[in-house]
Structure 1
Amino acid sequence: MTATYPTRPKYARAPGTGLDTELVTELVTDEDAFAALGPAWARLYRRCGTATPFLSHAWLHSWWRSYGRPGRLRLLLVRRGRGGELVAAAPLMLVRRPLPALVPLGGPVSDYGDVLLDDGDDGSAARALTEALWRAARTALIDFREVRPGGAAERVHALWRGPRRALDDSLCLELPAVPMDELVARLPSGKAQRVRAKLRRLTALGVERRVAGPGEVAAALHRLLELHRSQWRGRGVTAEHLRPRFREHLVRAVGPMVSAGDAVVTEFRLGGDVVAVDLTLLSPGLAGGYLYGADPRLRERKVDVAVMLLDACSGQASAAVRGAAGGRGVLSLLRGDEPYKHHWRPEPVVSRRLVLARRRTAPLLAALLGGAAVRRRGAEVLRRWGPGRQERRARDHRSTGRQT
């Protein structure tokens, strides 16, 4: 199902055209309609300097196929004219627990969440998207998780006219998207010398690097996941990475992303054998080393896997990432505060959780933030305003003899 309705104010000037064009917002809940959005979504993604790879259509649509639940899809779109170009999009889904909320697609397997806004927006698309979210959030919170500072969702948060909160979310560590020699130059001289020695060790051993082509991605990702399983055997592996649905999502998403230049899969070979595979995701302003698998026996050969991977990832990031609005691009080490990441002197960046409510759902916001008493009040609001309230009102009226 796709609901379409004009925004208020009804008209906004289309940048560079000199013409007044109606902004039209759509609520898309149909999975086939989501699939068909690919080309238009990709164009908007390229025009959004704050987009992360987890907002690409290939990633989100594949995630939905693996993790989505029927009837829960909620895509808020803003177009210039009916059927016109996308200028804003919020990829959301409805959840009912622990509280009713619209949350970003991507879930825990995505390190960032956000909305897309055209870099050329004069503010009208942001206002239209905010208004569409206001209508969509009649009985539920809007809970944007893992928004990178400066993300487009911050503009929605600033425009929101109801109760709102901004909270800290996960810590990510970031480096500039520059070649490896520049990253090494940032280190104290002693550490820099050790890193250069480790790079020379890779050359001496004959470790070769090869980027997988579009037709080779599926096989390379299968090898990545098997090596990932091996390297974590007997330790605390993330269980989701071993499940078939994650494997299916990754293979389905990354193939098109590689073709579009939004991902790079790199195989490392030693003596003709694949000993490691790395997946780096790319967007206009940010690259991130998402997942890798490495043969545990590399340690016996005194290979520093972190140095090997960062050498490849930094080269790919510096070549592909232009930076938001032409600024400095970012190589994100993504979520987690592991000690090995700090060797590179990264900048700690805390993602934001932006929670939006309307007056009737303000108790739900309090329930999200507060204790048992307000949670009970939130449950009462849900009973009064949540799904099925019309049926309950009719039943109550019939039981007291009142006309509905």
Structure 2
Amino acid sequence: MLADTRILLIVSGSVSAYKALELTRLLRKAGARVIPVLTAGGARFVTPHALQAIAGEVVHQELWSLADEAETGHIRLARLPDLVVVAPASADLLARMAHGLADDLATTLLLATDRPVLVAPAMNWAMWAHPATCANLAALRERGVGVVGPNVGAMAEAESGPGRLAEPAEILAAIEAALDAARHRRERPPAAGLPMAGRPLAGRHLLVTSGPTHEPIDPVRYIANRSSGRQGHAIAGALAALGARVTLVSGPVILPDPPGATVLRVNTAAEMLAACEAALPADAAVCAAAVADWRSAGAAEQKLKKVPGEAPPPLALALNPDILATLSAHACRPRLVVGFAAETENVVSNAVAKRQRKGCDWIVANDVSGDVMGGAENAVHLVTAGGVEDWPRLPKEEVAGRLAARIAETLAGGAEA
């Protein structure tokens, strides 16, 4: 896959820069030539000697190096690779990329290159969630820059959250996908005058949640519901079919992954929220998952045992995070936020109240007192600021197609949210 490819790898300032060494090893093992560029910040965490030894190439660091300019030249270096990869991509470097600055070798190369660019962000969770970072990422994505990660996990500051650099194997997979996409674009250019035909969501990032969540009571028991994930997965597939880059955050299901979607698998509501926040910014979010409202306030570390003659142990519950409300009020709020309301009575009135309470744009409401959960069909009501639309009972795939078309129309500016 990577034989005879050239990767320009820019390593910026982050404590996770050590992972760039493993990424370089994996790239070379796959047959790629790695041309390393080390920023001043990156050199605080990895040495040029280590990077050069693993890459087997001269490490480029200085924009004003007479030797480098005489032998290679930064413009030629910018045009040399098949793909430019920034891993890790610090908040500072992303900001300078977004604003077109060129005050060192890395940013000059990024501004001068005409090759595809892939970034792997890495930073503290608060920096990742900051509106400035959200705006910078949105601008870069709008220009076609690919993004892999970040992941959710422990950080150097004894904190945890979204912002952890994707693992080298994940970045390698994203590199392969980016090169494959670039190859297809070269081989099959769009027809003249019809670059967006059938793909009205091309260039858009859509976030979808699906399935139930499992909230552990002990190592073998959990709180859950009967959601199959079929509706959420159908929505993710319908959006991908319209050209969107889809991130699907899925609870435990037994469904195949929708074609074209990137699937992040989680179990609990807390994990689902963290994965959603890590996936931002997005143009729209569709929260179709049936998230458990409560979790055990203190999950047992060992299996709870039934003792003859004794009452069952008490089960204390705690509220789970509200994913829909959180995304609706988020600093990186998607332009369009769509929630679902699974009701058994007063379906429309409850959905109208929920839309106002959660702060989202639309609510897709359905009556789940019958065979909807786990079934193949759904009858929904679309609640918006403009009123309520009653849709007929349809296969879930057709409901997904209708909703995807409405989302595409709204994001294109042809309809009000």
TM-score w.r.t. structure 2 length?
A: 0.29
Name whichever structure is richer in strand by fraction.
1
TM-score w.r.t. structure 1 length?
A: 0.30
Name whichever structure is richer in helix by fraction.
1
